[in-house]
Amino acid sequence: MRVAASAPGKVTLFGEHAVVYGHPAIVAALDKRVYAYAEPRSDDVVKISAKDLRVPGLIVSYVGGELVLETDYGAVLPAIAYVSKAVEVAARYLDVRKGVNVEIRSEMPVGAGLGTSAAVAAATITAFAAAHGYELAGEEVANLAWEVEKGVQGIASPMDSSITALGGYLKISYGSGGAIERVALKVPKEPLLVVGYVERVARTKEMVELVRARLFENPDLYGEILRLIGRLAVEAEKALLRGDLRTLGSLMNVNHALLDALGVSTRRLNELVQVAREAGAYGAKLTGAGGGGCVIALAPENADAVEVAMRLHGSMVFRARLGAEGVRVEAL
Ligand code: MEV
């Protein structure tokens, strides 16, 4: 039986990078989703087709552990790696040995810092399970999708996998023992965000490694910056829960400055943040790993002006609705 599952992207409101070192982060599910369609096969071949991943018509076959590409375009390989790893992880978890055809579509640009990798993993795992008659709980999907991210990237916090699986707004932290704390936040006033995207010049893995290298060189200084970012997340949680968007905006500005101090921002991201603030945003920051990617601007009053200003600056812009539902099986 052919089945479909979808999982939302996310924006990190506070705490990217610091969350890798056990500090809390606040993250929200986005109303843009990744869809995975799965159909069991009678043999043991896994066939992956990725549409709308900005590379139309790509067909990838995964036969006997070997990846066979039917295109010469290599840029989408990172996204495909998450699909094949997700199939591998789910098959092992469920002890299913049958092959599957998987098709992936995305409503968001892939690799922009919107958590598409984790969404691809969660949607694929859920569709694979449903195609073989299994229903997984949100926390199970969160843990399996995290395994996929760690498998592909080498290092990942449980943030993206948690939010795409569970949806809503979450405060996430995880200790050195590996215990994950996921607190669902009841947010009374949705913060209206304008999101601007500029091209990525570095991957998440490279940005995470850059922070790690700086921390290694000067643990006192960079450790202190990461601790401060964690503290911002704690203050932001309070502001978010009492609907205090002015304070939230100021905290976003401080968070952006600290991310810049870590070295993960770029000139274009800094300019975009500045342009959004000048057009009336309460606050703006980069979101995700940095090195290009997305800026979020909190603009409950001047969203139109902020949107225009960010577009004029040359970024792709959209309004984000937050708090979307987590991974789910879709009716076909
Ligand atoms: C990437 O979206 C966010 C980082 O904190 C990495 C992670 O949490 O795995 C940079």
pLDDT at 77: 60
Return d(Cα 64, Cα 264) in angstroms, integer. 39
* Across 209-219, average pLDDT: 97
Instruction: Say which residues have a Cβ less than 8 Å from residue 67's Cβ, sequence separation at least 6.
Output: 60, 61, 80, 84
Tell whether the model's pLDDT for residue 125 goes beyond 80.
yes
Name the band, by pLDDT with cuts 50, 70 and 90, for residue 80: confident
- Whose CA is closest to 205, among 105, 109, 117? 117
Name the band, by pLDDT with cuts 50, 70 and 90, for residue 78: low
Residue whose CA lies nearest to ligand 1 atom number 10: 289
**17 close to ligand 1 (CB < 6 Angstrom):** yes
CA of 159, closest atom in ligand 1 = 8
Whether 44 is a known active-site residue: answer no
**156 close to ligand 1 (CB < 6 Angstrom):** yes
Name the band, by pLDDT with cuts 50, 70 and 90, for residue 76: low
pLDDT at 53: 56
Residue 250 — φ and ψ, nearest 5°? -60, -40
pLDDT at 332: 81
Tell whether the model's pLDDT for residue 246 goes beyond 50.
yes
pLDDT at 65: 47
Return d(Cα 156, Cα 325) in angstroms, integer. 22
Between the CA of 306 and the centroid of ligand 1 the distance, in Å, is: 26
Tell whether the model's pLDDT for residue 299 goes beyond 80.
yes
Tell whether the model's pLDDT for residue 12 goes beyond 70.
yes
* Across 62-78, average pLDDT: 45
pLDDT at 56: 35
Residue 196 backbone class (left: φ over 0; alpha: ψ -120 to 50; beta: rest): beta
Between the CA of 291 and the centroid of ligand 1 the distance, in Å, is: 12
* Across 302-327, average pLDDT: 93
CA of 18, closest atom in ligand 1 = 5
* Averaged pLDDT of the chain: 89
- What is this structure's pTM? 0.89
pLDDT at 204: 84
Residue 38 — φ and ψ, nearest 5°? -130, 145
Name the band, by pLDDT with cuts 50, 70 and 90, for residue 144: very high
Between the CA of 23 and the centroid of ligand 1 the distance, in Å, is: 12
